[in-house]
């Protein structure tokens, strides 16, 4: 796949995103933007780093394994390194290979995965992924399992920073799911709530997101086609 976004497009998209966060009542001090670079080449990561977005998200172990060293090799001396967030489904056997690369594991949803992370990356920072929409095919633990998983992860020595969820994929109003995640995090004294993607950022920020995960590309809209 070719990567067609120019640095100027990227800066426009970044400005648009910041406007969206602020109009939803957020601020860039409180809402961290994770630039999701999955399926994009290293150029996308460099564009993000170029505007100061140091938090980069990847979904696939192999892609992270090959991309992280290539990005590191392209950084100029003294340039800050990215913090890689793992946001894809986790299997035990994947953890070992990427353990040294990941700054925040966002998708811990089972004790076995927490255990594997704890043994490969002792003390690592994690989020517990919660299925807040009760969709069968989705990963994430059930809301009622959060307390047990937070305790188990802490007992394993992991640094549990907060919770993560994916909004409804069926086009329903995402706000109840996001409000539920925020309430769960507050109940457990957890600060971070990673929620909100391109399609539902405003709702997530309005409900107290501290971290949005946004793909580096934007769907072409009718508006763009009219301008083209």
Ligand X SMILES: *Cc1c(COP(=O)(O)O)cnc(C)c1O
Q: Of the ranges 11-19, 48-56, 150-158, 192-200, which one interacts with ligand X (CB under 6 A)?
A: 192-200
Does 166 participate in binding ligand X (rule CB under 6 A)?
A: yes
| Other Cβ atoms closer than 10 A to 32 | 19
d(CA 65, CA 220): 30
Residue number with the shortest CB distance to ligand X?
Answer: 215
CB of 165 to ligand X, least distance (A): 9
Q: Which is nearer to ligand X, 111 or 197 (CB)?
A: 197
Does 5 participate in binding ligand X (rule CB under 6 A)?
A: no
From first CA to last CA, the distance across the chain in angstroms is 22
x-marked contacts with ligand X along 46-65 as a string, rule CB under 6 A: -------------x------
The answer to whether the beta carbons of residues 161 and 104 sit under 8 Å apart is yes
Q: Of the ranges 44-52, 63-71, 150-158, 213-221, which one interacts with ligand X (CB under 6 A)?
A: 213-221
CB of 197 to ligand X, least distance (A): 4
> Which of the 8 DSSP states describes residue 221?
P
Q: Which is nearer to ligand X, 59 or 119 (CB)?
A: 59
d(CA 177, CA 218): 24
The answer to whether the beta carbons of residues 129 and 141 sit under 8 Å apart is yes
The answer to whether the beta carbons of residues 150 and 161 sit under 8 Å apart is no
Q: Of the ranges 7-15, 40-48, 110-118, 197-205, which one interacts with ligand X (CB under 6 A)?
A: 197-205
């Amino acid at each position: 796949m070719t990567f067609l976004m120019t640095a100027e497009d990227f800066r426009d998209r970044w400005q648009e995103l910041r406007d969206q966060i602020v109009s939803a009542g957020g601020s860039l001090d409180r809402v961290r933007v994770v630039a999701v670079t999955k399926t994009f080449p290293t150029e996308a990561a460099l564009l993000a780093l170029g505007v100061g977005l140091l938090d980069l998200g990847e979904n696939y172990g192999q892609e992270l394994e090959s991309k992280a060293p290539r990005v590191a090799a392209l950084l100029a001396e003294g340039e800050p390194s990215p913090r890689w967030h793992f946001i894809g489904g986790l299997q035990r056997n994947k953890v070992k290979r990427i353990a040294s690369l990941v700054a925040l594991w966002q998708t811990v949803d089972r004790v076995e995965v927490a255990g594997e992370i704890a043994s490969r990356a002792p003390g690592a920072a994690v989020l517990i992924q919660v299925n807040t929409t009760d969709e069968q095919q989705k990963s994430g633990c059930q809301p009622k399992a959060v307390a047990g998983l937070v305790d188990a992860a802490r007992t394993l020595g992991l640094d549990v920073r907060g919770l993560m969820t994916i909004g409804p994929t069926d086009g329903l109003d995402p706000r109840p799911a996001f409000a539920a995640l925020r309430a769960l995090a507050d109940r457990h004294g957890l600060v971070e709530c990673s929620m909100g993607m391109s399609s539902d950022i405003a709702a997530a920020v309005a409900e107290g997101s501290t971290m949005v995960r946004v793909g580096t590309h934007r769907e072409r809209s009718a508006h763009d086609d009219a301008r083209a």
